[in-house]
Amino acid sequence: MSNPSSPPRSRQIPVIILAGFLGSGKTTLLNHLLRHRAGTRIGVIVNDFGSIETDAMTVSGQVGSTLSLGGGCLCCAVDVSELDTYLETLTRPAARLDVIVIEASGLADPQESVRMLLASDNPHIVYGGLVEVVDAAELATTRERHPEIDRHLAVADLVVLNKTDRAGDADRLRIREAVAATGSTAAVIPATYGRIDPELLFDPALRPDGEEKARQLTFEDLYLEERTAAAGEEHGDHLHAAYESLDFTSDVPMSPRRLMEFLDSRPEGLYRIKGYVDFGAGDRDNTYALHAVGRFLRFAPRPWTRGEPRLTRLVLIGSGIDAEALHKEPADCRETTPRPGEAAPGDTAPADMAPDAAQDAPHERSMWDVLRYVQQPGDDA
Biggest alpha carbon distance in the chain? 73
Q: Say what the pLDDT of residue 377 is.
A: 55
pLDDT tens per residue across span 54-79:
444 443 444 333 333 334 566 666 66
Max mean pLDDT among 16-25, 48-57, 143-152, 245-254 falls in 245-254
Distance in angstroms (rounded) separating the CA atoms of residues 278 and 281: 9
Evaluate whether 286 touches 253 at the Cβ level (below 8 Å). Answer: no
First to last CA, the chain: 36
Q: What percent of the chain has pLDDT over 90?
A: 30
Query: Is the pLDDT at 38 greater than 60, yes or no?
Result: yes
Q: Give me the sheet containing 74-77, strands edge to edge.
A: 74-77, 42-46, 99-103, 13-20, 125-135, 158-162, 187-190
pLDDT-based confidence at 204, cuts 50/70/90? confident
pLDDT tens per residue across span 301-333:
999 999 999 999 999 998 888 888 888 999 999
Q: Say what the pLDDT of residue 57 is.
A: 47
Mean pLDDT computed over 354-370: 66
Residue 139: CA count within 13 A, CB half-sphere: 28
pLDDT tens per residue across span 251-276:
999 999 999 999 998 888 899 999 99
Q: Say what the pLDDT of residue 41 is.
A: 86
68-78 burial code (b ≥16 CB/10 A, e <16): beebbbbbbeb
- Smallest CA-to-CA distance from 376 within 87, 14, 123 is with 123
Identify the three-state secondary structure at position 117.
helix
Q: Average pLDDT, whole number, for the chain?
A: 76
Q: Say what the pLDDT of residue 225 is.
A: 45
pLDDT-based confidence at 47, cuts 50/70/90? low
pLDDT tens per residue across span 76-135:
666 656 778 888 888 888 888 899 988 887 777 888 888 888 888 888 999 999 999 999
pLDDT tens per residue across span 134-171:
998 888 888 888 888 888 898 999 999 999 888 888 87
Distance in angstroms (rounded) separating the CA atoms of residues 254 and 63: 48
Q: Say what the pLDDT of residue 159 is.
A: 93
Distance in angstroms (rounded) separating the CA atoms of residues 85 and 348: 50
Q: Say what the pLDDT of residue 357 is.
A: 46
Distance in angstroms (rounded) separating the CA atoms of residues 29 and 24: 10
